[in-house]
C-alpha cells in the first residue's frame, strides 16, 4: 500500500500502521513531538518493516541526543526488505550516510 499526494509516498503493508503514522504526523505538526513519537512507535509495531516510522524515530532520537535509540531505529529502517518509493529510497540512502557517523 502506497499513499501519495504530491509528497514522498509512504509505503507500508498495513492500513492501520499508515493511519497511526499519519496521526503521528498531525501530532508533530501541532508540536506534540512526544505523542508523535509514541504513535510512530505503535505504527512500527504494527508493521515492523515500516521504513518511514523507523526513519522518523531514528531522526528524532538523534535530534534529542539519544544516540543509542538513533542507532536502534536507523538499523531497523535500513534493514527493511520492503520495496520503497523513490523518495523513501533517497531517504534511506541519506540515513545510511548519517548512520556511519551520528
Segment 43-77, tens digit of pLDDT: 999 999 999 999 999 999 999 999 999 999 999 99
pTM exceeding 0.75? yes
Helix, coil or strand: residue 102: coil
Domains of the chain: 12-94 (1.25.40.10)
How is residue 63 written as a grid cell? 535530534
- How many residues are listed for the chain in this entry? 102
Question: Any residues with CB less than 8 A from the CB of 49 and at least 6 apart, and which?
Answer: 12, 13, 80, 81, 82
| Average pLDDT score over residue span 26-37 | 96
CA distance 56 to 21: 10
Amino acid at each position: 500500500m502506497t499513499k501519495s499526494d504530491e509528497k514522498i509516498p509512504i509505503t507500508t503493508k498495513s492500513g492501520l500502521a499508515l493511519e497511526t503514522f499519519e496521526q503521528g504526523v498531525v501530532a508533530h505538526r501541532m508540536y506534540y513531538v512526544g505523542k508523535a513519537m509514541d504513535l510512530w512507535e505503535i505504527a512500527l509495531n504494527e508493521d515492523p518493516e515500516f521504513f518511514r516510522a523507523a526513519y522518523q524515530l531514528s531522526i528524532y532520537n538523534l535530534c534529542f541526543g539519544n544516540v543509542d535509540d538513533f542507532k536502534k531505529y536507523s538499523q531497523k529502517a535500513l534493514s527493511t526488505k520492503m520495496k520503497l518509493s523513490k523518495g523513501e529510497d533517497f531517504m534511506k540512502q541519506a540515513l545510511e550516510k548519517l548512520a556511519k557517523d551520528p
